[in-house]
Chain A
Amino acid sequence: MDDLLFILAQLNYLLVVVAGLLGSGNRPSWLDRFSSPGLFAGAGLHAAGLIVLSAETGGLPVYTPGASMATISLLLIVGLLVIRRVPRMEALTPVILPLVVVLLALAQLLPNALRPSPLPPGSLSPVWIHLHIGMIFVGLGLLTLSFLVSVMYLTLRRRLKQKKLKGLSRFPDLETLDKTNTRLLLFGFAALSNGIALGGVWWAANPNTSSLDETAVATIAAWLWYALAIQVRVVGGWRGKFASLVSVIGFSGLAASLVFVNIMLSGWH
Chain B
Amino acid sequence: MAVSQGRLVAIGLNHETAPVELRERLAMPQDLVGPHLTTLLEKGYAKESVILSTCNRVEVYALVDEDEGGQGIRSYLSGNRDHAEIISKHLYHYEDEEAVRHLFRVASSLDSLVVGEPQILGQLKEAYDTALSHHSAGQVLGRVMRRAISVGKKVRTDTAIGGHTVSVGTAGVDLAEQVLGTLADKKCLIFGAGEVAELVAVAMQSRGIGELQVINRTLHRAEELAKKVAGVAHTEEALLTELEHVDIAVTSTAAQTPVLTASMMAPVLRKRKFRPLFLLDLSVPRNISEDVNGLEGAYVFNIDDLQDVAQRGLRRRSEEAQLAEVLVENEASKCFRSLDSLNAGPFIAALTQRAEDIVETERQRSHKVYAELTEEQRSGMDAMHRAMVKRLLHEPIAQARKLAEEGRMEELLTLGETFGIHPLPADRQASPVPEDETD
Contact = CB atoms under 8 A, between A and B. Distances in A.
- On whether the two chains bind one another, the answer is yes
A238 B299 contact: no
B180 interface: yes
* Interface-centre pick from A169, A174, A243 (highest chain B CB count, 10 A): A174
B316 interface: no
B273 interface: yes
Contact of B276 (A163, A174, A236, A238): A174
A175 B180 contact: yes
B124 to A, nearest CB: 29
Contacts of A84: none
Contact of A173 (B180, B293, B305): B180
Contacts of B219: none
B299 A240 contact: no
A166 B308 contact: yes
B276 A165 contact: no
Contacts of A243: 274
Contacts of A172: 181
A168 B178 CA distance: 8
Q: How large is the interface on B (under 10, 10 to 19, 20 to 34, 35 or more residues)?
A: 10 to 19
Interface in B275-306: 275-276, 293-294, 296-297, 299, 301, 305
A169 B309 CA distance: 11
Interface in A170-221: 172-176
Given A175-B180, A240-B296, A241-B296, A163 B274 contact: no
Given A163-B301, A240-B275, A241-B274, A176 B181 contact: yes
B180 A174 contact: yes
A23 interface: no
B357 to A, nearest CB: 67
B299 A160 contact: yes
A238 B180 contact: no
Interface in A232-251: 236-243
Interface in B301-335: 301, 305, 308-309
B175 interface: yes
A239 B299 contact: no
A26 B296 CA distance: 37
B373 interface: no
B178 A169 contact: yes
Q: How large is the interface on A (under 10, 10 to 19, 20 to 34, 35 or more residues)?
A: 20 to 34
B308 A239 contact: no
A239 B179 contact: no
Given A163-B305, A165-B305, A166-B308, A236 B179 contact: no
Contacts of A174: 179-181, 276
* Interface-centre pick from B178, B308, B309 (highest chain A CB count, 10 A): B178
A174 B181 CA distance: 7
Contact of B181 (A160, A175, A239): A175
Interface in B162-191: 175, 177-181
A173 B296 contact: no
Nearest to A168: B178
Interface in B121-177: 175, 177
A237 B274 CA distance: 9
Contact of B297 (A163, A173, A239): A239
Contact of B175 (A161, A165, A166, A238): A165
B293 A237 contact: no
Interface of A: 88, 160-161, 163, 165-166, 168-169, 172-176, 236-243
Give 3 nearest A-B pairs by CB, closest first: A173-B181, A240-B274, A165-B308
Given A163-B305, A172-B181, 20 more contacts: A160-B179, A165-B175, A165-B305, A165-B309, A168-B179, A169-B178, A173-B177, A174-B180, A175-B180, A175-B181, A176-B181, A236-B273, A237-B273, A239-B273, A239-B276, A240-B274, A240-B275, A240-B276, A241-B274, A242-B296
Interface of B: 175, 177-181, 273-276, 293-294, 296-297, 299, 301, 305, 308-309
8 contacts: A88-B181, A165-B308, A165-B309, A175-B276, A239-B275, A240-B275, A241-B296, A243-B274
